[in-house]
């Protein structure tokens, strides 16, 4: 009878000790946290104004170079229409005339992304220091 009790008590002690497993998991976690490299990707910093933030007269007083992009992909620099091939030269001339390297790009709501990005690239290639994007306030339809 005594032998049977010993065997039952031996069988009930089948619990697994999880402490070494938890220690290994924490060590792996610490290792991965320490060896992880966080890469900071630099992008284009864009300062979008809120609608109605500045009036058009205030923008003209600043003497910034305005680039208008129409829905058809046509460009206007400082009020004069410019073909896409001559955009860089027109921007450079307008920056020299205004003695300012700040650019304001205003795209029509129907303008393609491609034509606005092309204007940004041309402005960057001729040495524009800062770029801003103007938005037109849309009237609420009731």
CATH code for the domain in which residue 86 is found: 3.30.420.270
Q: What is the pLDDT of residues 7-46, one digit of tens each?
A: 555 555 667 788 889 999 999 999 998 888 877 777 777 7
pTM of the predicted model as reported, rounded to 2 decimal places: 0.53
CA dihedral 129, 70, 137, 80 (to 10 degrees): 60
Q: Where are the beta strands (DSSP E) in 26-93?
A: 65-69, 75-77, 80-82
**Would 64 be classed as within a structural domain?**
yes
**Would 34 be classed as within a structural domain?**
no
Domain that holds residue 111: 56-134
Backbone φ, ψ for residue 80 (5° rounding): -110, 140
**Would 48 be classed as within a structural domain?**
no
**63 phi-psi bin (left φ>0, alpha ψ -120 to 50, beta other):** left
The count of structural domains within the chain is 1
**Would 99 be classed as within a structural domain?**
yes
Cβ(80)–Cβ(110) under 8 Å?
no
User: Rg for the chain (alpha carbons), in Å?
Assistant: 33
Q: What is the pLDDT of residues 102-115, one digit of tens each?
A: 888 888 888 888 88
**Would 16 be classed as within a structural domain?**
no
For the ranges 15-24, 54-63, 69-78, 115-124, which has the lowest average pLDDT?
Answer: 54-63
**Would 20 be classed as within a structural domain?**
no
């Amino acid at each position: 009878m005594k032998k049977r009790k010993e065997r039952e008590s031996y069988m009930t002690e089948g619990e697994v000790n999880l402490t070494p497993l938890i220690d290994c998991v924490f060590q792996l976690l610490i290792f991965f946290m320490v060896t992880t490299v966080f890469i900071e990707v630099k992008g284009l910093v864009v300062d979008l104004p809120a609608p109605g933030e500045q009036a058009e007269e205030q923008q003209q007083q600043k003497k910034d170079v305005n680039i208008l992009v129409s829905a058809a992909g046509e460009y206007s620099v400082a009020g004069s229409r410019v073909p896409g091939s001559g955009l860089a030269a027109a921007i450079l001339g307008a920056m020299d005339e205004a003695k300012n390297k700040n650019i304001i790009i205003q795209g029509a709501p129907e303008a393609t992304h491609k034509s606005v990005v092309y204007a940004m690239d041309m402005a960057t290639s001729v040495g524009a220091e800062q770029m801003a994007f103007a938005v037109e306030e849309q009237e609420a339809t009731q």
